[in-house]
């Protein structure tokens, strides 16, 4: 029973950054095709800098777990994300 519960929690958390950036309040989708992965990467990058942000430090373990799951979710919704990409301002 514990394995089923753990699997259910992992399934519900799959691609949290992707879901937030694509359908929530995040603003990265439309800028980067892999917006969930990019968000997780930014959290991890901030967690290891010298200015060690409290937010980034607290969420770094979750971002590390979510990164590969967001990669899968970002790949699955890639056609949607590319369709909604904003043209680059050059």
Exposure class string for 12-32: b at 16+ Cβ within 10 A, else e: eebbbbbbbbbeeebebbbee
Question: Does residue 51 belong to any structural domain of this protein?
Answer: yes
- The pLDDT value recorded for residue 57 is 78
Question: Does residue 12 belong to any structural domain of this protein?
Answer: yes
CB-based contact 72:57 (threshold 8 Å): no
Domain of 67 in residue numbering reads as 2-83
- The pLDDT value recorded for residue 8 is 56
Question: Does residue 23 belong to any structural domain of this protein?
Answer: yes
Question: Does residue 89 belong to any structural domain of this protein?
Answer: no
pLDDT per 10-residue tile (average), the chain, 90 residues: 64 67 69 84 83 74 86 85 68
């Amino acid at each position: 029973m514990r394995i089923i519960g753990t699997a259910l929690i992992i399934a519900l958390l799959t691609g949290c950054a992707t879901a937030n950036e694509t359908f929530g309040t995040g603003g990265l989708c439309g800028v980067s095709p892999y917006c969930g992965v990019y968000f997780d990467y930014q959290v991890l990058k901030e967690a290891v800098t010298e200015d060690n942000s409290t937010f980034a430090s607290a969420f770094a373990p979750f971002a590390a777990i979510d990164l590969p799951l967001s990669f899968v979710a970002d790949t699955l919704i890639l056609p949607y994300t590319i369709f909604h990409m904003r043209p680059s301002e050059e």
